[in-house]
Structure 1
Amino acid sequence: MVRFENVGLRYGLGPEILRDLSFQIPAHSFQFLTGPSGAGKTSLLKLLFLSLRPTRGLVNLFGYDISLLSKEEIADLRKRIGIVLQDFRLLDHMTTYENVALPFRVMGRDESSYRKEVIDLLKWVGLGERMDALPPILSGGEKQRAAIARAVISRPQLLLADEPTGNVDPTLGRRLLRLFIELNRSGTAVIIATHDITLMDQYEARRLVLHQGRLHIYE
């Protein structure tokens, strides 16, 4: 599903923050991405989401060399990816329900075909009473859960999550991780960036460890 070959990334004229990344993400796989603060985890997720282009090297996603694709083709590929970033990126003028339903609206689906699914998921992540609330009045943890629900609702082929359990209590964190695991079992490849060693130790999963700009893989 994903193949990186000798990928490097720098911002502007600064030093490379990611160097010589070569790895593959198989379809239907589950892995944690970890490493110290500043190691480049968020930058790697943005490369995977195609919101950043590498400075050098090959990125192949879903069988496509991204360097050969137009902006429109890149946009089409991104529809196959769900992402949860730490800034959440909810639309402030839309309710929680509308934010979570947005992927279906982009697909052009009629609301009657997805309304129950969106409501059921919002209840499952503990936002059943906040469906009509706008993001500015949600807490950080509520925004995070809404962003997670939006990322998983359309069952993407690839899910990227940056510290998805960072703003919730341990019980809800485990519940959200079960959601990712169930999504993975249904066929989605999942990459979760986290500092939480205790959380990772609860599950047998591949670990991608970033250190000083380089990636080390532990099966």
Structure 2
Amino acid sequence: MAERRVAAIAPSRTELSLVRFENVGLRYGLGPEILRDLNFQIPAHSFQFLTGPSGAGKTSLLRLLFLSHRPTRGLVNLFGHDISQLGKDEIADLRKRIGIVLQDFRLLDHMTTYENVALPFRVMGRSESSYRKEVIDLLRWVGLGERMDALPPILSGGEKQRAAIARAVISRPQLLLADEPTGSVDPTLGRRLLRLFIELNKSGTAVIIATHDIGLMDQYEARRLVLHQGRLHVYE
């Protein structure tokens, strides 16, 4: 096992929690609940790993946090808002404050790598002159400096993953959700990407990284959220 605490994670602070789940359950259609009785909070500025066996519901929990799924029951409070009381436009506004990296990447095939990563700024209505250097610098940092003009269909899986990560972090969201973000890259680049998440956390973003990699988690002093048989256990 790797030695613990080889890198410092910014400690949780005492500010109001960004996320609060109370007795939350989720099922698809008429099937059984795949998540049940979830009770936890995500403090502002915190860093945590989300883990558990395959099929435990990690991706489903991330989708609940991103508001792309509604819970079957229970309370989800995000950024101080009870999401059951919000309309479609209000939900869309809250999602702009969240960065997400899913395993299907969600890159737009008709846009270049540069354009995909710059998309959050375009949605905000910012001029390209105000963000171009920032986007280029980040693409170089994640090893895509030579692929800025490439379209997603010709990128490798690892390149798509790095582009998706760059797009998720470029606008410094209040909450970052990442599903197996180092799964398609070599260990050296994986550690580099983790440093990116750590620096983002130090600048104020709450980070949740879903991973199966116990060795990776053992290198960092961070809170762990463990899903098992549909329930969540929190280890500080």
TM-score, normalised to structure 1, is 1.00
| Distance apart, 1:199 and its partner CA | 0.4
Whole-angstrom CA distance in 2 between matches of 1:216 and 1:19: 12
Whole-angstrom CA distance in 2 between matches of 1:32 and 1:25: 11
Whole-angstrom CA distance in 2 between matches of 1:58 and 1:175: 36
| Distance apart, 1:76 and its partner CA | 0.1
| Distance apart, 1:4 and its partner CA | 0.1
| Distance apart, 1:143 and its partner CA | 0.0
The Cα offsets for residues 141-169 of structure 1, whole Å up to 9 and x where unpaired, read as 00000000000000000000000000000
Whole-angstrom CA distance in 1 between matches of 2:39 and 2:67: 17
| Distance apart, 1:12 and its partner CA | 0.2
Q: SS in structure 2 opposite 1:14? A: coil
| Distance apart, 1:94 and its partner CA | 0.1
The Cα offsets for residues 167-205 of structure 1, whole Å up to 9 and x where unpaired, read as 000000000000000000000000000000000000000
The Cα offsets for residues 52-97 of structure 1, whole Å up to 9 and x where unpaired, read as 0000000000000000000000000000000000000000000000
| Distance apart, 1:98 and its partner CA | 0.1
Paired residues in the alignment total 219
| Distance apart, 1:38 and its partner CA | 0.1
Q: SS in structure 1 opposite 2:165? A: helix
Matched-pair identity in %: 94
Whole-angstrom CA distance in 1 between matches of 2:173 and 2:233: 26
Q: Which residue of 1 aligns with 2:215?
A: 198
| Distance apart, 1:119 and its partner CA | 0.1
| Distance apart, 1:46 and its partner CA | 0.1
TM-score, normalised to structure 2, is 0.93
Instruction: Give yes or no for the alignment of 1:31 onto 2:31.
Output: no
Structure 1 residue runs without a partner (length 5+): none
Whole-angstrom CA distance in 1 between matches of 2:38 and 2:187: 32
The Cα offsets for residues 14-40 of structure 1, whole Å up to 9 and x where unpaired, read as 000000000000000000000000000
Whole-angstrom CA distance in 2 between matches of 1:62 and 1:212: 28
Whole-angstrom CA distance in 2 between matches of 1:76 and 1:216: 30
Flag as ranges the 4+ runs of structure 1 deviating above 4 A.
none
Whole-angstrom CA distance in 2 between matches of 1:21 and 1:190: 19
Q: Tell me which of 170, 175, 181 is aligned to 1:153.
A: 170
Whole-angstrom CA distance in 2 between matches of 1:186 and 1:117: 16
Query: RMSD across aligned C-alpha pairs, in angstroms?
Result: 0.2
Whole-angstrom CA distance in 2 between matches of 1:26 and 1:89: 27
Structure 2 residue runs without a partner (length 5+): 1-17
